């Protein structure tokens, strides 16, 4: 039996799939199986998968109907034979030491999850690097991390850990229920699955090595706002609230909500908000959703006076002021 199972969910990534699979073949750690889950691809991905499986017996291909990443990962999990499992997105690549360093760490630290650092690449340029909290944390340490840094790290106003399933190695026994916790979500299933597992594992070890390359491509950068965008975001927040029986995220979740809310309105939706009536129709119902109650029950956010002005305007439902001084200003800039 292989020590590690690599699960690669695949859907219409023929242009980048070869680079991903070649980076797996180049691993210095060779005791693995690579499960290629073709999630109903309609391009040449299916053919590429079969070609790699024909050349290397460690590659196993599973074809299924298109049901999304969460379902594809579960299918890969059900076919896996390794005691440890990692996920790689089919348009990303990994360093040749990716498996070796994660596996050695999980064994040496007796951890249930190990995590490396990642870089985001667009147009062959590094556009972002993760800066996770480093070290090995037991149950007490994990809870302190969840309370203080997980969803909002004050060092850089980002997350304290990449909220994705990739870039990590998991002990198999903790993974099945974690994957199922994210079912039904089109986006954000990774972070719900990860949070579910962090509540239950005994130890996580986070290393400083940059071993995963998350490749941005044009489709991701220019993705348009979709009508179910907020339905999905709100459901992610509701699942956090449902899982967090210990109130570990009582301070962290509102900060994450605020970042997602403002980025969604002033980013994804901005070019659709040409008038105040459009704003009232599309944005106000989102802000007034009960899910955001834990955010707007806060007196202020730890961002300083100037940044809190925007928060107070929305908290007290001064929507016309927000639209006039922020949205219309940003909208005119992009037109």
3-state DSSP percent of the chain in helix, strand and coil, to 5: 45, 20, 35
Residue 215: what pLDDT?
87
Q: Do 22 and 98 form a contact (C-beta atoms < 8 A)?
A: no
CB 151 within 8 A of CB 132: no
Q: What is the pLDDT of residues 68-79, one digit of tens each?
A: 889 999 999 999
Strands 203-216 and 113-122: parallel
Q: Could you tell me how far CA 102 lies from the centroid of its own chain?
A: 19
Q: What is the pLDDT of residue 142?
A: 97
Say whether pTM exceeds 0.75: yes
Q: What does the pLDDT read at residue 335?
A: 63
| Other CB atoms within 10 A of residue 157 CB | 10
Residue 122: the pLDDT is 83
Task: For residue range 104-152, list pLDDT tens digits in order.
Answer: 999 999 999 999 999 998 878 888 888 898 999 999 999 999 999 899 8
How far apart CA 319 and CA 308 sit, in angstroms, is: 15
When pLDDT is averaged across residues 82-108 and rounded to a whole number, the result is 98
CA-nearest of 49, 27, 46, 35 to 7 is 35
What pLDDT is attached to residue 219? 58
Average pLDDT over residues 305-326: 93
Q: What token pair was written down for 112?
A: 């249930």
The residue-averaged pLDDT of 33-57 equals 97
Percent of the chain exceeding pLDDT 70 equals 97
The pLDDT confidence band at residue 221, using thresholds 50, 70 and 90, is very low
Query: What CA–CA distance (Å, rounded) separates 252 from 264?
Result: 18
Q: At what angle do helices 139-148 and 252-263 cross, to 10 degrees?
A: 40
CA 232 to chain CA centroid, Å, is 14
The DSSP output letter for 225 is: P
| Residues facing residue 129 across a β-bridge | 119
- E strand segments, 194-296: 203-216
Contact 38, 10 (CB under 8 A): yes
Q: What is the pLDDT of residue 224?
A: 60
């Amino acid at each position: 039996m292989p020590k590690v199972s690599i699960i690669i969910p695949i859907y219409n990534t023929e242009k980048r799939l070869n680079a991903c699979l070649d980076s797996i073949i180049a691993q210095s750690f060779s005791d693995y199986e690579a499960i290629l889950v073709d999630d109903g691809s309609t391009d040449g991905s299916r053919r590429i998968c079969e070609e790699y499986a024909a050349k290397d017996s460690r590659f196993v291909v599973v074809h299924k109907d298109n049901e999304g990443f969460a379902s594809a990962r579960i299918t890969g999990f059900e076919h896996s034979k390794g005691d440890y499992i990692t996920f790689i997105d089919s348009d990303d690549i990994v360093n040749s030491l990716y498996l070796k360093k994660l596996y050695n760490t999980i064994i040496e630290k007796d951890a249930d999850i190990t995590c490396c650092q990642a870089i985001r690449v667009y147009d062959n340029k590094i556009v972002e690097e993760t800066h996770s909290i480093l070290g090995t944390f037991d149950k007490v340490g994990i809870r302190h991390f969840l309370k203080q840094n997980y969803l909002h790290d004050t060092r850089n106003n980002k997350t304290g850990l990449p909220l994705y399933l990739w870039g990590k190695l998991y002990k198999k026994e903790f993974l099945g229920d974690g994957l199922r916790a994210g079912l039904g979500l089109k986006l954000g299933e990774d972070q719900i699955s990860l949070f579910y597992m962090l509540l239950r594992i005994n130890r996580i070890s986070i290393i400083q090595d940059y071993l995963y390359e998350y490749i941005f491509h044009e489709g991701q950068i220019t993705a348009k706002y979709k009508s179910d965008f907020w339905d999905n975001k709100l459901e992610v927040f509701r699942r956090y609230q449902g899982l967090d029986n210990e109130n570990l995220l009582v301070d962290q979740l509102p900060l994450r909500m605020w970042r997602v809310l403002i980025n969604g309105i002033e980013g994804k939706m901005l070019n659709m908000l040409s008038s105040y009536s459009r704003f009232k129709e599309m944005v106000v119902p989102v802000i007034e959703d009960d899910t955001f109650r834990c955010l707007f029950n806060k007196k202020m956010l730890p961002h300083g006076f100037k940044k809190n002005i925007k928060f107070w305007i929305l908290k007290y439902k001064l929507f016309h002021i927000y639209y006039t001084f922020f949205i219309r200003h940003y909208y005119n800039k992009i037109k």
